[in-house]
Structure 1
Amino acid sequence: MRCLLSLFSLLAAALLLSACAKKLTFQGSDISDSQIGQNFTLQDQHGKPRQLSDFQGKVVVLFFGYTSCPDVCPTTLAELRTSMQQLGDAAKEVQVLFVSVDPERDTPQLLAQYVPAFNPSFIGLTGSKAQIDETVKAFRAVYQKQGNGPHYTVDHTAGTYLIDRNGQTRVLVNYGAGAAVFTHDIRQLLEQ
């Protein structure tokens, strides 16, 4: 009888713990089991080496783009600016990283003017083509230069990655999803 009571007690405790564990529901695509992303080293807009692991303990929003982008990049950065406003004080626990896929034109000085114009806390990252290629590959993203001369464009992955406080890539938010989707999914990760 004592064994049966102990078994019921353990079962009740397990059910209580599973009921207390919060199920995360993302509006973006849940890519938690995809093994996308890894640590990287790039330089920020001040020339300081930065690694993804530098931001452990924060939710990281990582986006690939370039400063001459006519639509995707400024739209996404504007949505992220709105999302940070919606998050209020919780935005201090979030770090937005804009990784340039155009190292030929996106100098640290240009990134220092462009990226913080959307939000002073946003960080622009660049590096050698090899460093950028390695980072792009780790996130299973793509980019390709189109055209020649000074007015070329760069096709690139338009989705944005949300990385939890432990450095695991959890969500891919599609381009044009809107600030409310970013805010919802970032809150889910902050409350985890």
Structure 2
Amino acid sequence: MRTRRAVILGLGGTAGALAFTLGLGWWKSRNSAQPGAGLLPLPVADMSFNLSNHRGNPVQPADWIGRPTMVFFGFTWCPDVCPTTLSDISDWLADLGPEADRLNVALISVDPERDTPTVLAEYLSNFDRRIVGLTGQLPEVEKAAAGFRAKFEKLPRDGDYTMNHTAGVFLFHADGRFASIIDFHEDRRFALPKIRRILT
């Protein structure tokens, strides 16, 4: 069985191509056929969900108001897109220096069946300590995704399953207004200015 260490270090070839397709391409190709297609994420203040962070503490959208927010949807068994994006986020936070301490930074798991707070805590120990993992009951994860206009679905794979999900990092101003999205593999020259704009 693959260990998370192997997953985090990345798998090449087919796994990378599949992950890219399932991540970035899936939102672009499927979004237009889904209810709410083309809609921007709701302001954080208008969202409604009850999740738990990887330390076991409850988290609601209201907890994010007052600080700029960066959110990514993913899961710990993701073969490529998620560890790559979390590594990118860790690099961005390092580049921002002390300014990054002002951000809410969260990974919302689209695989609550496997991603318990304990599993998320172990997984996130490989990345910047400021990234918080969120999980909860499936209906609450669905409510969170709906607010972000994100999509995800469970797909059978080799006697187990994987998750199709929106790839992209959502950015919000401190008052909860949606700011922009950093696309998967977006060049750091463009990603960092987007983050700095929500910090000003």
Equivalent of 1:86, from 83, 90, 95?
95
Cα distance in 1 for partners of 2:101, 2:49 equals 22
Alignment match, 1:169: 178
Which of these two proteins has the greater Rg computed from alpha carbons? 1
* Residue pairs, 1:99-178, within 5 angstroms: 99-147=108-156, 151-178=160-187
Q: How many residue pairs are counted as aligned between the two chains?
A: 159
Distance 2:196 2:190 in 1: 10
Runs of 4+ in 1 over 4 A off after TM superposition: none
RMSD over aligned CA atoms reads 1.8
Whether 2:42 is the aligned partner of 1:36: answer: yes
Alignment gaps of 5+ in structure 2: 1-38
Specify the SS of the correspondent of 1:147.
strand
1:177–1:129 Cα change, 3 Å: same
| Change in 2 beyond 3 A, CA 1:111/1:178 | farther
CA-CA distance at 1:117 after TM superposition: 2.1
Q: CA shift at 1:148, angstroms?
A: 5.5
1:68-83 alignment to 2 at 5 Å? 68-83=77-92
Opposite residue 67 of structure 2, the aligned amino acid is K
| 2:41–2:147 Cα contact (<8 Å) kept | no
**Unmatched tracts of structure 1, length 5 or more:** 1-32
Choose from 35, 54, 61 the match for 1:52: 61
Other structure's SS at 1:188 match: helix
Alpha-carbon distance in 1 for matches of 2:77, 2:188:
22
Q: What percent of counterpart residues are identical?
A: 35
By how many angstroms is 1:119 displaced? 0.7
Q: Is the 8 A contact 2:72 2:108 kept in 1?
A: yes
Take 2:101 and 2:187, find their aligned partners in 1: how far apart are those partners? 20
The offset of 1:53, in angstroms, is 2.0
